[in-house]
Amino acid sequence: MSERYAIYFAPAAGSDLARFADRWLGRDAETGEVVPQPKLDGLDAERLRALTEAPRHYGFHGTLKPPFRLANGCDVDDLHRAMAGFAARQAAFEIAALQLREIGDFLALAPADPAPALSNLADACVTEFDAYRAAPDAAELAKRHAAGLTPRQAELLARWGYPYVLDEFRFHLTLTGPIADPMERTRVAGLLQPLVAPLLMQRMPVREFSLFHQPDRATPFRRIQRIPFGR
């Protein structure tokens, strides 16, 4: 079975960040509606569509617990009840500012300063909901190892099903897929900068988390539940 779930941070519906993300990626992850992408000088529509294909597929988000298949004996109602109980104990907080960053070969928004509350939330999601995660199959593990992992990342993959969690976690909101050419990456960042500049001046509230669902690997993730924090 290829059906997967993920626990993500996603910006509040109707917020400036959410509206920007829907337009930039060309899809509303809650409704699945196609949204016209911006017209950019020097970057044609087809290339923009290709550069945003990967984040569009996953929906605009910051990962808290990476995509996983449900463990045997668990269903989505069990997961949702566990998330609601967890959320009731969480206190809302804010990220003071975001910045546009190159992370490897892709572009993303990330906290401008260390955000321990966000890291702590992600760590807790990884561990708290692990009982609901089926172990990755051999093909998934081979794909991860083929990408090149450090010994620590391999250890995390074996224990938690994903190599970039806990001490290897870096929160980010992905804006592009891989852009191999550094010159093109710099050019796209330059086109993005004026679009995101107003957002970088705003505080980003973290008052809820979201459950995303993917019925099969070919189908984009959709947000199916927003769960507010209790404090």
Average pLDDT of the chain, as a whole number:
96
Burial of 102 (0-12, 13-18, 19+ CB in 10 A): middle
Virtual torsion, Cα 9, 116, 173, 23, nearest 10 deg: 70
Sheet of 173-174: strand order equals 98-103, 106-111, 173-174
**33-58 confidence digits (pLDDT tens):** 999 999 999 899 999 999 999 999 99
Bridge partners (DSSP) listed for residue 70: 133
What is residue 42's predicted lDDT score, i.e. its pLDDT?
87
Residue-range domains of the chain with CATH: 4-228 (3.90.1140.10)
State yes or no: pLDDT of 78 exceeds 80: yes
**1-15 confidence digits (pLDDT tens):** 689 999 999 999 899
Burial of 95 (0-12, 13-18, 19+ CB in 10 A): buried
* Cβ-based neighbours of 62, under 8 Å, separated by 6 or more: 8, 9, 10, 118, 171, 172, 173
State yes or no: pLDDT of 231 exceeds 90: no
**157-188 confidence digits (pLDDT tens):** 999 999 999 999 999 999 999 999 999 999 99
Q: Is 71 helix (H, G, I), strand (E, B) or coil?
A: coil
State yes or no: pLDDT of 72 exceeds 80: yes
CA distance 32 to 65: 22
Percent with pLDDT over 70 in the chain: 100
